[in-house]
Amino acid sequence: MDEPVFVDTAPEAAQPLLQEILTYLETEVAPNANRIDQQKSLLSSALQALAELGIFRLAPPEAVGGLGCPPSILWHLALKLGEASGALAFLVSQHQTALSIILEHPNSSVAQAYFSDLMLGKTLIGVGFSHLRYNHVDLKARSLPQGYLLKGNIPWLSGFQHMTMVVVAAELPGEQTLFALLPLMNAQQSSGGILHLTLPLPLAAVPSTQTVQAEVIDWFVPPEDVVGIGDPNWIEQRDSQKLLRGSAAPLGCARASLQVLATFPQSAELYACLWDRWQFLYTTIQQELGQLNPPYHAKLRAKAVQLAVRAAQAAMITTGGSAVLLNHTVQRLYREAMLYMVTGLNNNLRDALLAELLVEERCL
């Protein structure tokens, strides 16, 4: 299988860093991916190692001390992360997303106080806004003379015991979105506000990411913890802009499964068909990364997710019964492929994924 070539197309200042990251993924992460998937301490170590290498400097522009890598470079890196370890790719994406939200509000107290440390990986941070896709009333905010008051529930917070803080999104009256910085731990304020986290949820996929739910009771957000205010349709805009970015990790997962499939001569014909599909999708998505969010990007991402599922199924069937073991590589890839079916799942992506299944049924 040919390696995607992309380092040489990155800004010159970023090339040595990218090569270091790829070497680390190849030598330290990929060989230990099954253990990283199950052991939070190993995942924390890998995440911290990438942070110390400088992975979070790649995206921010040079004006704020970053390296200003274009979307195509970041997409390729996400593919390599997804190929090496889905759990690590997921947490890297969490921090990158929080960093990008803070960067959208550069004049906020949060940006002034934390951005440099976040970009350098000295502090790790998560996000909590997936509830906006389904139920805006899960977490509500109201304005006070000195800040904001949060109340409600956050159904999905990943990175507990890996990260120290989280940027959460809450709906304000008038349907604007408040972004606020909260500690990622159980806490109680002197004013009576309570942040209560559940135990880590028993996830079938990437369990070491430590995903929890939170109950927020009258939590006061002072001005220094306000990240910014987003438009009423912020989540819809973000989802449409990030559709193709979310195709990278599934294609990385698919590539890892195809590497397993390639070792079985009896599956050569199936491998050739799936590899041709992978190359077609890879090439097509590369041509589309610079386009301004046409609606058919949901279809391309759905095809990438479906290929991850198909490739993992093929690898599992060819491997046989040992692939059912929890610590088997193919079992991990199959569960990661399942995760990508629901990651960032909005109505457009759900419709595209179901349409892919319908096409398959009609072809039977």
pLDDT one-digit tens code per residue, 183-225: 999 999 999 999 999 999 999 999 999 999 999 999 999 999 9
What is the H or E stretch that residue 297 is in? helix 297-319
Find where tokens 């070497």 sit. 23
Residue 169 has pLDDT above 90, yes or no: yes
Model pLDDT, residue 275: 97
Residue 302: predicted pLDDT: 95
* Helices first, then strands: H and E counts in the chain: 12, 9
Residues ≥6 apart with Cβ < 8 Å to 194: 187, 188, 215, 216, 217, 218, 219
DSSP assignment letter at 203: -
96 burial class (0-12, 13-18, 19+ CB within 10 angstroms)? Answer: buried
Q: What is the pLDDT of residues 66-92, one digit of tens each?
A: 999 999 999 999 999 999 999 999 999
Position 174 scores a pLDDT of 85
- Other beta carbons within 10 angstroms of residue 79's beta carbon come to 25
Topology of the domain covering 242-362? Butyryl-CoA Dehydrogenase, subunit A; domain 3 (1.20.140)
Beta strands 165-171 and 125-128, pairing class = parallel
Q: Taking residues 34-50, what's their average pLDDT?
A: 97
Residue ranges of E strands in 158-271: 165-171, 177-183, 187-188, 194-197, 212-221, 226-230
Q: What is the pLDDT of residue 354?
A: 93
Mean pLDDT, range 167-183, rounded to an integer: 94
Structure tokens belonging to residue 291: 């386009």
Tokens of 169: 């999104």
Condensed to tens digits (0 to 9), the pLDDT of residues 254-297 reads: 999 999 999 999 999 999 999 999 999 999 999 898 777 788 89
Does the pLDDT value for residue 27 go beyond 90? yes
Could you give the dihedral angle defined by the CA atoms of residues 117, 118, 120 and 121, in that order, rounded to the nearest 10 degrees? 110
Higher pLDDT, 315 or 362: 315
Query: What's the burial of 296, exposed, middle or buried (CB within 10 Å: 0-12/13-18/19+)?
Result: exposed
Comparing 138 with 280, the larger pLDDT belongs to 280
User: Is the confidence at residue 362, as pLDDT, over 80?
Assistant: no
CA angle 35/52/290 to nearest 5° reads 90
125-231, CATH topology level: Butyryl-CoA Dehydrogenase, subunit A; domain 2 (2.40.110)
Q: Round to whole Å and give the CA distance between 39 and 339.
A: 18
Task: Tell me what pLDDT residue 97 has.
Answer: 95
At 147, is the pLDDT very low, low, confident or very high (cuts 50, 70, 90)?
very high
Which positions ≥6 away from 103 have C-beta within 8 Å?
60, 64, 111, 115
Question: Cα 71 to the chain's mean position, in Å?
Answer: 15
Q: What is the pLDDT of residue 315?
A: 96
Arithmetic mean of pLDDT, 9-24: 95
Domain topology for 7-119:
Butyryl-Coa Dehydrogenase, subunit A; domain 1 (1.10.540)
- Tell me the Ramachandran region of residue 65: left when phi exceeds 0, alpha when psi lies from -120 to 50, beta otherwise: left
Mean pLDDT (the chain) is 93
pLDDT at site 138: 87
Domain parsing of the chain, residue ranges:
7-119, 125-231, 242-362
Provide, rounded to the nearest whole percent, the portion of the chain with pLDDT above 70.
98
Tokens at residue 286, please?
């590369």
Predicted pLDDT at 298: 92
pLDDT of residue 238: 85
